[in-house]
Structure 1
Amino acid sequence: MQWYLKVLKQYADFNGRARRTEFWMFVLFNILAAIVLSIIDVLIGTASFSSTGTGFAMSGGLLTTIYQLAVLIPSLAVGARRLHDTGRSGWWQLLALIPIVGAIILIVWWATDGQPGANEHGMNPKQDAMAGYPQGGYPQQGYQQGGYPQQGYDQGGYPQQGYQQGGYPQQGGYQQGGYPQQQQQYPPQQQYPGAPQA
């Protein structure tokens, strides 16, 4: 569901790249929504049936048509971003105007894995996801900005227990600078003649 909402938030954003998961989850939710709305159209009588030679065909009902118009722009936008992920221009979606062949070519391209690393359309969204950015949809809990676990580690990545600010053990006779605390030795008192002995 988060992928579907992400596409709707980027309603008319034709820039950047989109992962295969983002694109195909949006397509799946669109199909499910169209099926549900078609059933509702039949129940309320806004869908029309026509007889064919081998059966019946149902034309799009009122609710289904409204929904398809509402998601037309985000569908084109996520399709363009998916093509950007493969290193192609979003204008290749015009191949859909070619019957059958154009749709097959687009489906193959939309199902192709994206280019590794950055291309002219931006960073690889999979790398953003592994780095902990929300675009990939992965949880950020339990990790700092640098990617280290928060429990038991300070900002530099060293354990907090048993270490001072400089990273040296507190136990074992070490001071703040990390050098041993040697006891200062004084020379023995010299005995002077005539001085009382303790």
Structure 2
Amino acid sequence: MNHFISVWKNSFNYGGRARRKEYWMFALFNMIAVVFLSVLGSLIPGGSSQPVLWLTAWLPMIYMIASMIPTLAVSVRRMHDTSRSGWWLLINFVPLIGGIWFFVLTVLDSKPETNDWGASPKYNGVAVV
């Protein structure tokens, strides 16, 4: 949960690096929040009335729009952790293979050496041979 909160606090921080754990814990809690809001929306009584129907249908979508900037920021920092530019997020626009390749990039381990975006948060102060 700390990683989820720290990503929201660093919503506009596109510099630095984000470990795999931070990225994937944010993704996990983000998905849990969307599922929770979807279930909550379906449990609200009076679903046939127009205002309640609008709320139940759009509640998860409003959350996903609100979480776009933190998701983008943590994704850019994740690319920095693998010694890649944040522009690698654009690989997602390549049909079929782009999403798979971006997934592979997010699963890769951190680069232990210091790069253009700072020291490794995983190997900080540890000598790697």
* TM-score, length of structure 1 as denominator length: 0.56
Cα 1:42–1:14, aligned 2, differ >3 Å: closer, same or farther?
same
Structure 1 stretches of 4+ with a deviation exceeding 2 A read 43-48, 127-130
Question: Which protein, 1 or 2, shows the higher relative CO under an 8 Å CA cutoff with sep ≥ 6?
Answer: 2
SS in 1 for 2:122: helix
Query: Quick one: distance in 1 between partners of 2:104 and 2:3?
Result: 21
Larger Rg: 1
- Matched residue, 2:93: 97
1:38–1:47 Cα contact (<8 Å) kept: no
Q: Which residue of 2 aligns with 1:76?
A: 72
Between Structure 1 and Structure 2, the one with more helix by share is 2
Tell me the C-alpha RMSD between the 2 structures: 1.9
Shift of 1:129: 8.0
| % same residue | 43
Does the 8 A contact of 1:38 with 1:64 survive in 2? yes
- Distance change >3 Å, CA 104–CA 43, structure 1 → 2: same
- Kindly indicate whether residue 108 of structure 2 is the aligned counterpart of residue 112 of structure 1: yes
The 1-side partners of 2:107 and 2:12 are apart by 22
**How much has 1:124 moved relative to structure 2?**
0.3
What residue in structure 2 maps to residue 128 of structure 1? 124
3-state DSSP of counterpart to 1:126: coil
Give unmatched runs, 5+ long, in structure 2. none
Structure 1: 5+ residue stretches without partners? 49-59, 131-198
Q: How many residues align?
A: 119
Per-residue CA distance 1:124-182 (angstroms, 9 max, x = gap) = 0013387xxxxxxxxxxxxxxxxxxxxxxxxxxxxxxxxxxxxxxxxxxxxxxxxxxxx
Q: Give the Cα–Cα distance (whole angstroms) in 2 for the partners of residues 12 and 70 of structure 1.
A: 13
Residue aligned with 1:128, SS: coil
